[in-house]
Chains A and B, each alone.
Chain A
Amino acid sequence: MRNITEKIVHHRAITLSIILVLIGLTTFFIPKIKSDMQIENFMSEKTHMVQGSNFLRKNFGGNDYIFVDLVAKGDNSFRDFYFNRSIRDISMYAKNYSIVSQITNIGDVVANLTKGFIGIAYVPGSNYAMEQNYMLIEGSEGIDQILSSEKNEAISQIMVNTKSFSDVKVLEKSLKDFIDKNIMKNYKIEDFDIENPQHVKAYGNEIKQFVISRGGEYDDAILDVMINAKSQEIDALIKDIDTKTLFNMFNNYLEYNEENQIDYDTFSNLINGNSVDEYISEYYDYFLYDYEPNLRATYAKKKLETLNTNLSEKHLEELSQYVNDEQVPVEKGNNILEVRVTGIPVLTNKVNDMVFDNQKESMMLAYVLVFILFAIQMHSIILGLLALIPITLTIIVNFGIMGLTGISLNAATVTIASITIGTGIDYTIHYLSRFKKEYRESNDKFKAAVRTSATSGRAIVINSLAVILGFATFIFSEIGMLKQFGILTATAMIVAPFLTLTIFPILMTLLSEKLLKKFSKESIIKQKLKKREEVA
């Protein structure tokens, strides 16, 4: 130790440069550190838990659930169409994320029931239609898993792949943002009056919510198309629909009513106002009444296709059905809608955040306390700060190693910084106390540095070897989290004494004699005791 320290203090610039370069290199890897609290990532592939999770991911696309919980309060009810559209839109928004596989929610059940009647899955835009849907849905097998009618509450079960909890966190944040920005929490349902600007605005909000949830781009032109399709007379509107499509629809209608189908010429005469058999005209009037919602939606879809909505064919079909909305949810009212995002992955992330915040706070507190202690011991604020350098550098190197080796921040590894402060301070105190004594005796900072390393330095190295062996036992653990903890603490226990025994000899020999005298001065109590002894 004596020889090494002699070389260090006589080649301070080179030694310091090498150390700083090495530390500087490790800092490049710090941004690569990932936080991950997924316990199975730290367990052996052979364990049942990991095998089970892998099986679920492989065969079902996910292994855990996030729940979006919607509660209707005030005048609101789970049968309300905006309630059902919102739960469907939130679920559709979640589908934009690759970690999401299956989703089950009551809005989809309503939409699929509607599909049984009109061929397109969507939540109808009136509470009158919703009441009819729910008359068939309520009491169906399994519905109680996603709907509690007594509590006016419904959930969307979102199956997620929790291989990476960071991705789950991104999804959770995005869902919350989508809900905050788009879902109305207080509203009232009113019959849609197309002349009422407030109603048109509410309708626009619903369309926007739909488009954004499906990954589309909203533009006011979409609202204009929908309002136009809604306000036109049906006779004017069908002129824009392909005659062949209309002809086929009408013949299907005749067939359903067990009537003979007509040829294309007859149909042309019919729609051009020329004379045809009276019963055909009569059936055509019934057809227009029965098929009006379909015809309006067909027209709207055709117009929407000309816009740059970025929506898929299926979503355009669904959106075009909104042209038949009979009611609108107007902002501010007694219909209260509460939305929460929850589930085990969300709670785990919450605990994760709490652990990190807690660790950050305790680390800062430890730093402050250590600084105060050193400042008192060394009779100087500057020296107090300098004493923190080896510990700080050790923590930096440790984080760099985490980034380099891919060890993630988790409940165990996040404690490394605090442990480093706790153990590193021992070496610092050891070194500085001895240096103080040696300097007081020799009055030569170089001699004092060499002697300190030769005496306390040896003790520090032996101490660190013992601690390394203690923590190294974790390296053989089956639990990956503990294994990583063992690796990192052992590394910290190598780096901390190394930096203590290299940085401190350089720093102490760089200090002025005046500062060192101040630092090595004996405490007031000791001085008083000495004086008393001399007097005696």
Chain B
Amino acid sequence: MKKVVITLTVLTLFITSIFAITGKEVLDNVKDFHNNFKTEKSVVVMKLIDSNGKVREREFNMYLMHEGDDSLALVRFNKPSEVKNITLLTLSDDEIYLYMPAYRKTKRISGGAKNGKFVGSDFKYNDITLLYNEQSGDYDANLLKETDTNYVVEVIPHDKDTDYGKIIMDITKDHLLFNKIEFYSKDNRLIKVMNFKDVKDFSGHLLATIVELNNLEENHSTVLEIKKAEFEIPITKKFFDRRNISKPVLKYK
């Protein structure tokens, strides 16, 4: 009888270990669960809050398109009037174009900019993909904890240029959405915390409409508010053309 109990216990543990989900699988599931669209347009309001509590607000349209394994992104600012029509086109990590209406010129910007801050906010260019439930670049992912409602995954980025030593992601099990992300420096200090709130359903696509990013080092924060999101809009790859971004009105092509 004793032998049977031991055998059953070992077998249970073996089966459990075979079917236990890994950190990488959790992140892949999150990505696959939400990447069920080809194109998307969202209207986003970005609030930059400095240490004195002073708020600066900007509004932009973001266009996304999945093309095979690649994601094409176009960001065009609408407000305030001074920055209207500044347009950023990301074709890949190393191919980013910027149109500056003040100079009526489009310029390709350095691939190194991906680790730079996104238009003065606390988001790095690399952090933006997290809004779309995707961790960019190469990384290792370890499942630290699994509860009835959440997964906690530790991400170790491989990119040498990154500021982060590790990223701890709290993901809800029901909708596979990020709940909270903590960014740690290479010397293991908590430097940024990203909170996702107010999940809304946009024609069957779930999105956290308020994303707060607190930069603990600089006592500065950025709040992104997704005002509107449309999926499967009629845009083609031609829309994401460097010559298109200098046009005053962006027409779907």
Query: A residues within 8 Å of B by Cβ?
Result: 114, 116-118, 124, 126-129, 131-141, 149-150, 256-258, 289-290, 292-293
Contacts and interface: CB of A to CB of B under 8 A. Distances in A.
A-B pairs with lowest CB-CB distance, top 3: A139-B117, A138-B120, A129-B102
Instruction: Summarize A's interface: helix, strand, loop or mixed.
Output: helix
Given A131-B83, A139-B117, A293-B103, 18 more contacts: A117-B105, A128-B102, A129-B102, A129-B103, A131-B82, A132-B101, A133-B102, A135-B86, A135-B119, A136-B119, A139-B121, A140-B116, A140-B117, A150-B54, A289-B104, A290-B105, A290-B246, A293-B104
Interface residues of B, number: 26
Interface string B60-93: 0000000000000000000011110010000000
8 contacts: A124-B103, A128-B102, A132-B82, A135-B86, A136-B119, A138-B120, A139-B117, A150-B52
Interface string B99-138: 0111111010000000011011110000000000000000
Interface centre among B81, B98, B102 (most CB of A within 10 A): B102
Contacts of B58: 135
B25 interface: no
B81 to A, nearest CB: 8
Contact of A290 (B54, B104, B119, B121): B104
A258 B238 CA distance: 14
Contacts of A150: 50-52, 54
B186 interface: no
A444 to B, nearest CB: 88
Interface of B: 50-52, 54, 58, 80-83, 86, 98, 100-105, 107, 116-117, 119-122, 243, 246
Contact of A124 (B51, B81, B102, B243): B102
A510 B50 CA distance: 83
Contacts of B86: 132, 135
A112 B52 CA distance: 29
A133 B105 CA distance: 13
B120 A132 contact: no
A117 B103 contact: yes
B119 A117 contact: no
Contacts of B51: 150
B103 A118 contact: yes
Contacts of B104: 289-290, 292-293
A139 to B, nearest CB: 3
A140 B120 CA distance: 8
B243 to A, nearest CB: 6
B82 to A, nearest CB: 4
B207 to A, nearest CB: 25
Contacts of A118: 103, 105
Nearest to A134: B120
Nearest to A114: B103
Interface centre among B51, B98, B104, B243 (most CB of A within 10 A): B104
B120 A139 contact: yes
Given A138-B120, A139-B117, A127 B105 contact: no
Interface centre among B58, B86, B122 (most CB of A within 10 A): B86
A131 B83 CA distance: 7
Contacts of B98: 136
A149 B50 contact: yes
Interface centre among B86, B107, B117 (most CB of A within 10 A): B117
Contacts of A124: 102-103
Given A138-B120, A150-B51, A126 B102 contact: yes
A249 to B, nearest CB: 13
A56 B121 CA distance: 37
A376 to B, nearest CB: 67
A382 B31 CA distance: 103
A246 B108 CA distance: 24
Given A117-B100, A132-B101, A141 B116 contact: yes
Contacts of B82: 127-128, 131-132
Contacts of B100: 117, 132
A292 B104 CA distance: 10
A137 B98 CA distance: 13
A146 to B, nearest CB: 16
B243 A117 contact: no
A443 B81 CA distance: 102
Contacts of B117: 138-140
A116 B50 CA distance: 28
Contacts of A129: 102-103
Nearest to A135: B119
Contacts of A133: 102
